[in-house]
Amino acid sequence: MFDLQHNSKGLVAHGVSACAGCGMELIMRNVLDVLGEDTIILIPPGCSALFSGFGDVSGLKIAGFQGNLENTAACAAGVRAALTAQGNTHTTVVAFAGDGATADIGLQSLSGALERRDRIVYICYDNEAYMNTGTQGSSATPYYASTTTTPAGKPTAKKNLVQIAIAHDIPYAATASIHNLNDLRKKVQKAKDTDGPAMLHIQSPCPSGWKYDPAKTIELARSAVQTGSWILYEYEDGKVTINNKPKELKPVEEYVGSQGRFKHMTKEQREELQQLTTKNYERYIKQLESMNN
């Protein structure tokens, strides 16, 4: 449908209707840039479905289809199996799913594909809620964030998706952030080259759901890492590398202070969040480092 020679560079077509400042759009562009044309993409309902398009019109210049919220990884595994049956080992099969589609509704399907060691690249862009349907809380929504289903702030912590993936003994898993696109792109390349399932968990700031100025998307992504709210690391064949370990964490307020989803928090709650974030960060870094012993 699209003339690759004629259109501008990249595998995303013009006029995609993502919100201004959408982190996920930047992730999609970079992921496809690295994976290249010889890729089939599976997209569930959610904001990334803006790219799979409507009817016979697609926002992407590669093949793919939209499945259900429950079965992105199973769809990807099916496509891989069909390609393998045809003798095709060169095409990359990528699943590109939100946090709700990954950590909640499609978790069983992801678990099955990881356990079977299906050779797929599974990417979860994590905007930390069910954004496409109006910001309902998911299990990836962080502690204290306000959503329409957690208006007074989520009372529980964020689910640790990468640890769940690693528990399946897969060859490659990593987290990434759009403030460091070189690191993100390297990880996409490694995922592509992995012989078996590879999983990337990428934080995706969302101006509409997190309620901040769309110009601040990259700044917020950076601040999440600098405050210890998002940890950058990768797991390769049993070995963990922490890609960014700040000597001293910046105050969490620098990250949450400009986001409307945290504005209901009292001074005491902010102090509590600071303590929790530092404690979780230190504990998790220790846990990751101990995996190399």
Report the distance separating Cα 246 and Cα 72, nearest Å. Answer: 35
Give the shortest CB-135-to-ligand TPP separation in angstroms: 8
- Quick one: what does residue 70 bind among ligand TPP, Mg ion, none, with the CB cut-off 5 to 8 Å set by partner type? ligand TPP
Give the shortest CB-188-to-Mg ion separation in angstroms: 20
- 165-198 burial, b at 16+ Cβ within 10 Å, e below that, comes to bbebebbbbbbbbbbbbebbebbbebbbebeebb
Report CA-CA distances (Å) from 210 to 29, 122, 269: 22, 24, 18
Backbone angles phi, psi at 249, to 5 degrees: -75, 145
Per rule CB under 5 A, is residue 25 in the interface with Mg ion? no
What length does the chain have?
293
Per rule CB under 6 A, is residue 46 in the interface with ligand TPP? yes
Closest CA to 153 of 129, 131, 170, 123: 129
Per rule CB under 5 A, is residue 227 in the interface with Mg ion? no
Per rule CB under 5 A, is residue 98 in the interface with Mg ion? yes
Per rule CB under 6 A, is residue 229 in the interface with ligand TPP? no
> Toward ligand TPP, which CB reaches closer, 128 or 234?
128
Taking CB under 5 A as the criterion, the residue among 23, 41, 75, 99 binding Mg ion is 99
Taking CB under 6 A as the criterion, the residue among 47, 73, 166, 184 binding ligand TPP is 47
Give the shortest CB-174-to-ligand TPP separation in angstroms: 19
> Toward Mg ion, which CB reaches closer, 12 or 22?
22
Report the distance separating Cα 148 and Cα 136, nearest Å. Answer: 5
Indicate the angle between helix axes 107-116 and 72-85, nearest 10 degrees: 30
Report the distance separating Cα 289 and Cα 43, nearest Å. Answer: 34
Taking CB under 5 A as the criterion, the residue among 52, 127, 217, 259 binding Mg ion is 127
Interface positions with ligand TPP (CB under 6 A): 45-48, 69-70, 98-101, 105, 127, 130-133, 138
Interface positions with Mg ion (CB under 5 A): 98-99, 127, 131
